[in-house]
Every structure is written in C-alpha cells, then in structure tokens.
Amino acid sequence: LKEAPMALTPTDPGWDDLVSIAPGPRMNATFVSLARNSDIWEIARSIRQVEDRFNRRYNYDWVFLNDKPFDATFKKVTTSLVSGTTHYGEIPKEHWSFPDFIDQDKAKKVREDMAERKIIYGDSVSYRHMCRFESGFFFRQPLMQNYEWYWRVEPSIELFCDIHYDPFRYMAENKKKYSFVLSLYEYVETIPTLWDSTKKFMKNHPEHIAEDNSMEFLSDDGGDTYNHCHFWSNFEVGNLNWLRSDAYVDFFESLDRDGGFFYERWGDAPVHSIAAGLLLNKDEIHFFNDIAYYHVPFTHCPTGEKTRIERHCHCNPKDNFDWKGYSCTSRYFELNGLEKPEGYENQQE
Ligand code: GDP
Ligand code: MN
C-alpha cells in the first residue's frame, strides 16, 4: 500500500477505466468544426467543454475543416483533446471562392458600402465564403459523407450542464432532422432580398415544401414578408442526409444563383433556418432545452431549477435569452403548441 501512488496519471494503466463509458448504441455521427489554424486555443476551449460535459462518455469522432492545410500544432492539440477519432479536411477551392456568375465589381462595391455603414463583417470576403460554405458545402465534404448526423461546434463556446444522454440518438429515435438552442432576429441589412429569393424558390419548387411546415415561425403575414426569425446556427445537431437531399440542395443552389452571399451578406443561420422552416415538418425540428450553451453574446440556460440542479449546471438563469424580447423561441413554442417551462415568466427581462 505504501507503494500506491496518490493518483493515477493519464499515462498509467487503468486510467481510461476511471472514465465511465456510456452504455448503448452509437449513432453514425460526428462533431464538425470549421476553423483556422489561428483558432486553435479558442476551439480547444470548446472541445474541452464538449468532452467534459458529454463526449468523454460517448467518444464520437470530430471532423475539422479548413480552407488552408491544418498545421501540426492544430492537429496535435485537437487530437489530444478529442476522445473519439479526429479527421482533418482541406476545403476544395470551388467551395471557397466566387462562382463565375458573380460580378466581382458589384460585389466589391457592396463591401465598400457595407464598410461605410458599419455592418458587422460587411467588408469581409472570407466571412462571405464561410457563410456560403456552411450553407451549401460542409455536408458534402468527402469526410462528412461517412456520417449521417453532425453536431456543429465553434471556437469559444461554453456548455454549462452535463449532457447525460445522447442527443444524436434522441434525434434519430424521435425522427428529428434539425435542432437549435437559441433563436433571434437577423440584421435586416445583411439579407434584404433573401426572402424574395425564397419566394422564387417556393414558386419554382412547390414539391419541396413540407405540408406541415413552420411558415408561422418565419413570417407574420402568411409568407408575404420575412420576420427575420432564425435559429442560431453556431450550435446545430442535425441530419446530414437531409442537407444532402434534393430539396435542400435545390434550395441552396437557387439562392446561390441569386448571388446574395456576395451581393448582400447572407448568413448560413437564416439560410438553414428558412430551409428547416419550409422543407421540414414542424415535428422534425427540436429545441434542446437541456443543452446549456453560450456563444458571444447570448446564453441559453435551461428554464427550470430541477434541470439545472440535476445536470450540475453553472449558468446564471438570469442570463437565459429564450424568453427575452429579441428571441424567437416563444414564437417557436406557440406555433408548436408547446407549454413553456415553469419559471419562464421570471426570465423575460
Ligand atoms: P461569428 O460567430 O458569426 O462571429 O463568426 P466566427 O468568426 O465564429 O466564424 C464562424 C465559424 O467559421 C467559426 O467556426 C470559425 O472558426 C470559422 N471561420 C470563420 N472565418 C474563417 C476562415 O476564413 N477560414 C476558416 N477555415 N474558418 C473560418
Ligand atoms: Mn462564432
């Protein structure tokens, strides 16, 4: 007994047995992060939290995507943090550049104009490539073809509660295709004609519009105008086969042709959200109340003290954005006939 060490270190035999592995099946699923080499320490923080709160018991894979080759440090650090297998993909030029039908001068003028008007990321070319890539291409990368489910993770996010079950399995067993934790109104300056393009698509492709869709989430006048509500896409757990379906790909290609990723600054969040709202039935979209999440500047902290205590949450319930005026989550609850969690009235401001 005198020889017994104070504590095992990670290189000692038996260390892995100290971490309990969740029983049950695994889904064909992966985490996915788009990142630059310079994002390493911010993505490392996110990974550590996802692992501590969930993945150390589930060991799902993690795919990293970049428009440039990942460097040795990025690969070494991320591989050491992820409990599943890591994969690194370089995005082909065609998925991260101007399509030939885009008028470069017109796009440049838009950026200069948006810079003057101080629109966030308005002058950025790379941000536009990023939004177009997340809208239309991440799910078609060769590494992603091996999976059916994805969970998107960005740098510098936080998870505030233990996740004691498998969200991928929840999605699969409940026939969900898309999910969110935060919703809000988009800056109208970034998407002035996105709804016109959407209406054009709806007219050309009525076969893709779901019967029991969530138009009420997106529009207050039966589809005439967009109310700018969207699910925040820096967190997503979703079905890749849905994104790879004719319905979604036709939607993306129709929007892409209209040029708004470059002539405006369409974000992948409104694009994914409009797609989910129109191409999916209501009951295929899920709100994860129990996944407590932060991405600057918004927090989703579960409503309901019981949940927060049981899951060892460390978020301040006052920070919860769900029921505040600028969130669209109330609207989502109302149109789906869901009962708001107990205590929501105390979090409205
Ligand atoms: P914000 O959340 O809208 O402020 O945008 P972020 O800066 O967080 O970017 C969104 C995601 O795209 C993050 O995962 C970033 O790491 C990633 N990203 C943004 N710009 C680039 C880029 O130029 N190259 C690569 N490889 N990733 C990028
Ligand atoms: Mn971000």
In the chain (349 residues long), the average pLDDT of successive 10-residue segments reads 67 74 95 98 98 97 98 98 98 98 98 98 98 98 98 98 97 98 98 98 98 98 98 98 98 98 98 98 97 98 93 96 97 97 85
Annotated catalytic residue within 134, 236, 264, 284: 236
CB 153 within 8 A of CB 32: yes
Q: Which residues, by Cβ under 5 Å, contact ligand 2, an ion?
A: 154, 234
Q: Specify the pTM.
A: 0.96
- Residue closest via CA to ligand 1's atom 1 equals 234
Q: Which atom of ligand 1 is nearest to the CA of 154?
A: 14
Atom of ligand 1 at shortest distance to CA of 267?
3
- What is the reported pLDDT for 69? 98
Q: Scanning the structure block, which residue is given the tokens 């890539």?
A: 133
**ipTM strictly over 0.90?**
yes
Going by their DSSP bridges, the two strands 229-231 and 149-152 should be labelled as unpaired
